[in-house]
Amino acid sequence: MASTGNLHQLQSSFQRANLRCIRKTYDRWQRDRAQRYLLRSQLGFHRTDDDATAPQPAPCHHCIHYHGIAYGTSKARRSLLVCGFHPSGPGDGPCPDWSGAQD
């Protein structure tokens, strides 16, 4: 029959092992969650008709540099990337960097 001290030591060993296992599992879950968050924020969300984003700006029609994909971690936090030259759009007037087939 095991003495009380040995039984207590055995339980402590199992508790420590269980805590290490739980901590490893939590750390793995947290790391996976952070990776998913980063990946989701880096992926582009293709616009759909029900999105509340602005339509393609008139100066950007048929421009080869037009990107038009919204990026963000949720639908409410998305922001539209118009192009690499003008991330928010060219503003008023014709775009000086426009390139493509004209109508």
Structure-token pair, residue 91 = 């503003």
- For the stretch 34-55, pLDDT in tens is 888 777 666 655 544 444 445 6
The SS3 of residue 1 is: coil
Domain that holds residue 74: 44-103
- Per the structure, the count of domains in the chain is 2
Task: For residues 15 and 29, state if they share a domain.
Answer: yes
Based on the domain organization, do 71 and 84 belong to the same domain?
Answer: yes
- Considering the domain architecture, whether residues 22 and 55 belong to the same structural domain is answered as no
Q: Are residues 13 and 48 in the same domain?
A: no
| The pLDDT value given to residue 26 | 94
Model pLDDT, residue 44? 58
pTM for the whole structure: 0.42
Cα–Cα distance measured from residue 21 to residue 25, given in angstroms and rounded to the nearest whole number: 6
- Using the predicted structure, report yes or no on whether residue 9 has a pLDDT greater than 90: no
Q: How many CB atoms lie within 10 A of CB 90?
A: 19
Mean pLDDT, the chain, whole residue set: 76
